[in-house]
Amino acid sequence: MNDVTTDYAEWIGRQETTDDDLSQTLALAAAAMLDDTQTCLGTGSALPPLWHWFYFLPRVPQMLLGIDGHPQRGGFMPPIPYPRRMFAGARMRFHHPLLIGQPARRAATIRDIRLKSGRSGKLAFVSVCYGYYQDDRLCIEEEQDIVYREPGPAVACTRMLDEWPPLPAGACARIVTPDPRLLFRFSALTFNAHRIHYDRPYAMKEEGYPGLVVHGPLTAVLLMELVRQEVARPVQEFSFRGLTPLFDLAPFRIVCTPVNERQCALEAQAPDGATAMRASVELAPV
């Protein structure tokens, strides 16, 4: 593996726009994956928060996919050679809901690229800002953190807890079984060909994981769905940060804990009880 020596300054400020008609079909497919039989998803209905990730998808020709299933780098994203890639976190603000079945546009800008060394080796952080528009009105602002890293040692399989610890006062939780069917459906809905999510031999032999990797955005969506089910107020802001990967080897727990009348703390707990993802929401005023 060659070190990163390229100056990526020319990629900072690079822009890309993507149009989408926000098809009702995709919204209904997402609802089926999430076992949501209650949300109204007709034409003109509000798209639930985070479901914009099921739209504005890359349509890269098959011949331009890398060995890991990701699009080859060097177009919009910089050609960083580190092979392991993860969607590490995001921050977003919801100004207006996107409406199903109406044209929308996503404008993307690379805001920053940082190279550093960590405990797991050399890393590259790419920060991408997105604005989602409908009728020329800004609906969602989002900043994503994409991390590339060198190959590292194999990831060990953790021991499962005998039982989950008690919940904090006022908290609600759900146990998620991340079986391959769920991971496949999420990959299909997001047109994500990254092999660590569906190709077990590749995930284990080539990237050193103990099983299939649960998508970080899928975990974030499940956390947001818990808020939608348990908190009867619109979400104004959402942020999340992935701390450690989850796998399809055992159930994990998602938890929503009220902090005050407008904020909730969210957490995805790995089978050993460790925090795999931390997130927070700010609710609209009453």
Compare 1 and 85 and report the one with higher pLDDT.
85
13 with 53, same domain: the answer is: yes
How large is the angle between the packed helices 180-189 and 216-230, nearest 10 degrees?
Answer: 100
Find tokens 């900072």 and name the residue.
Answer: 12
d(CA 64, CA 255) in angstroms, rounded, equals: 39
2 has pLDDT over 50: no
Give the total number of structural domains in the chain: 2
Task: Report pTM.
Answer: 0.93
Give the confidence band of 6 by pLDDT, cuts at 50, 70, 90.
low
CATH number at residue 102: 3.10.129.10
Kindly list the distances between the CA atom of residue 153 and the CA atoms of 18, 158, 204, in Å, as whole numbers in the listed order.
Answer: 37, 15, 11
Shared domain for 37 and 125, answered yes or no, is yes
19 with 130, same domain? yes
DSSP 150-201: ---SPPPPPPPPSSPPPPPTT-EEEEE---HHHHHHHHHHTT---GGGT-HH
- Could you tell me if 130 and 1 lie in one domain? yes
**Closest to 154 in 3D by CA, of 76, 97, 210:** 210
H/E element, 225: helix 216-230
Domain of residue 85 covers 1-152
Residues 225 and 264 in one domain: yes
Average pLDDT of span 37-65? 94
Q: How confident is the model at residue 10 (pLDDT cuts 50, 70, 90)?
A: confident
Residue-wise pLDDT tens digits, 147-173: 988 887 788 777 888 889 999 999 999
Is the confidence at residue 121, as pLDDT, over 90? Answer: no
- Both 104 and 202 in one domain: the answer is no
Domain's final residue, options 152, 179, 208: 152
How would you classify residue 22: left for phi > 0, otherwise alpha for psi between -120 and 50, otherwise beta? left
136 shares a domain with 197: no
Residue 247 contacts residue 218 (beta carbons within 8 Å): no
How confident is the model at residue 4, as a pLDDT?
45
Do 73 and 183 lie in one domain? The reply is no
| Measured CA distances, 264 to 137, 167, 172, 239 (Å) | 28, 14, 11, 11
Q: Which residues pair with 92 in a beta bridge?
A: 142, 238
Is residue 37 over pLDDT 60?
yes
Q: Is the pLDDT of residue 31 over 70?
A: yes
List Cβ neighbours of 175 (8 Å cut-off, separation of 6 or more): 164, 251, 252, 253
pLDDT reading at 109 higher than 70? yes
Length of the chain in terms of residues written: 286
Q: Of 67, 105, 87, 70, nearest to 147 (Cα)?
A: 87
Residue 266 has which token pair?
Answer: 């969210």
Q: What pLDDT, on a 0 to 100 scale, did the predictor assign at position 153?
A: 77
Query: Which of 134, 152, 170 marks a domain boundary?
Result: 152
**Do 159 and 268 share a structural domain?**
yes
Q: Which of residues 152, 179, 197 is at a domain's end?
A: 152
How high is the pLDDT of residue 13?
Answer: 92
- What is the C-alpha to C-alpha distance for residues 284 and 262, in angstroms, rounded to an integer? 7
Q: Mark 266-278 as b/e (b = at least 16 C-beta within 10 Å).
A: bbbbbbeeeebbb
Distance, in Å, from the CA atom of 158 to the CA atom of 270, rounded to the nearest integer, reads: 9
* Burial status of residue 194 (CB atoms within 10 A of its CB: 0-12, 13-18, 19 or more): buried
| Structure confidence by residue, pLDDT tens digits, 157-215 | 778 888 899 999 999 999 999 999 999 999 999 999 999 999 999 999 988 999 999 99
Supply 283's token pair. Answer: 């609710």
In whole angstroms, give the CA distance from residue 84 to residue 81: 9
Question: What is the average pLDDT value for the chain, to the nearest integer?
Answer: 92
Q: What is the mean pLDDT of residues 53-74?
A: 87
Q: Do 234 and 177 belong to one domain?
A: yes
Q: For residues 85 and 170, state if they share a domain.
A: no
**Domain shared by 146 and 171, yes or no:** no
pLDDT band at 5 (very low <50, low <70, confident <90, very high): very low
